[in-house]
A and B are shown apart, each in its own frame.
Chain A
Amino acid sequence: MTVKFETLQQLNAERAARRPAVVITDTATGEQRLVKAAEIAADPLAAELGKQLRMGKSATIEANGKKLFLNVYAPTARLVIVGAVHISQALAPLARSLGYDVTVVDPRTAFASPERFPDVPLIAEWPDVALPPLNIDHYTAFVALTHDPKIDDPALLHAFARDCFYIGALGSKKTHARRVDRLKEQGASEADVARIHAPIGLSIGAVSPSEIAVSIMAEITATLRMPASSKAAAA
């Protein structure tokens, strides 16, 4: 048995389209099959596939007396930061060190300058222009940090539509309550606004921009890695 060239091409097409996939190999015989994301729910190994995919981890498992290697191909997670603010200057390099592809969006060119964000892709445009070409998807964490409703609100509406795995917005409970009202007026549902993590970040007493960046990345990591039930317990 060999890995079929056709399987390899299909797998590479899924990866290029940022769709997760798992290749299952019987390491005794070399027998192999590709399971695309959309096929996982109906697969006999659905539970195991789901678990490994959530962890982003490949592993050998035993099933029906066979040793099966589940090779997990999940898209690289992205972080889209709206607001080229002080916190973002700490957040962008931290997120990159954690393996995220980072993009910073801010129409205010005084903020979105390469001097403030060396080596980070910067888009100095309004969200309605900047965001659609990014093809934001489920494997994207999205944070709105400008404190300016003219920028944050349309950005958040875009994030709802793209099913980002994490959506966070900077601001106190009071600021957030006003934001929720505005977003609903613009057509957001109760479920949409409930998805926003606000105040943003895990509660670790963060004060400095770097510490706030740590609390945000900790919350994003928990959302990415923990099953839904234990997330509720941790919150």
Chain B
Amino acid sequence: MLDRDEDILKAAEDWKKAGHGVALATVVETWGSAPRPAGSSLVINNDGTFLGSVSGGCVEGAVVTEALDVIESGAPKLLEFGVADETAWKVGLSCGGTIRVFVEKVG
């Protein structure tokens, strides 16, 4: 209710209208001290341009890479980032929390 984020969903709509391939990444679950709450989102287009944040910068790079895949394939992905998962993902959260990020194509 008290969200002052940039208008990520509006950007998603506008980019799609402009003919871009677009994906949305949304934090769907958090454990421990996660940097951003569930519902935080990031929109990415096929140029790699993105707006918003799912972790305040820790894992955005990896999310963008995965999102480009999702735009290509159309299949959604559920990503997990955290200290416990450093072998699965090269990036981790410095704060020690874990987050799950759902990435889906806007189609």
Contact = CB atoms under 8 A, between A and B. Distances in A.
Contacts, number: 81
A122 interface: no
Interface stretch (B8-16, B45-53, B55-63, B82-90): B8-16
A75 B29 contact: no
Given A8-B13, A71-B39, A72-B39, A3 B104 contact: yes
B106 interface: yes
Interface size band for A: 20 to 34
On chain B, which size bracket covers the interface? 20 to 34
B2 A2 contact: no
B106 to A, nearest CB: 5
6 contacts: A2-B76, A4-B107, A5-B106, A28-B78, A69-B102, A77-B1
A2 to B, nearest CB: 4
B38 A58 contact: yes
A56 interface: yes
Given A9-B13, A12-B10, A69-B26, A30 B76 contact: yes
Contact of B24 (A3, A60, A75, A224): A3
B53 to A, nearest CB: 15
Given A30-B104, A57-B38, A72-B39, A5 B2 contact: no
A58 B74 CA distance: 24
Closest 9 pairs (CB-CB, A-B): A58-B39, A99-B2, A56-B1, A74-B1, A30-B76, A2-B107, A2-B105, A69-B28, A58-B38
B13 A99 contact: no
A11 interface: yes
Interface of A: 1-5, 8-9, 11-12, 15, 25, 27-28, 30, 32, 56-60, 69, 71-72, 74-77, 98-100, 139, 224
A60 B1 contact: no
B16 A8 contact: yes
Contacts of B24: 3
Contacts of A25: 28, 102, 104
A43 B38 CA distance: 22
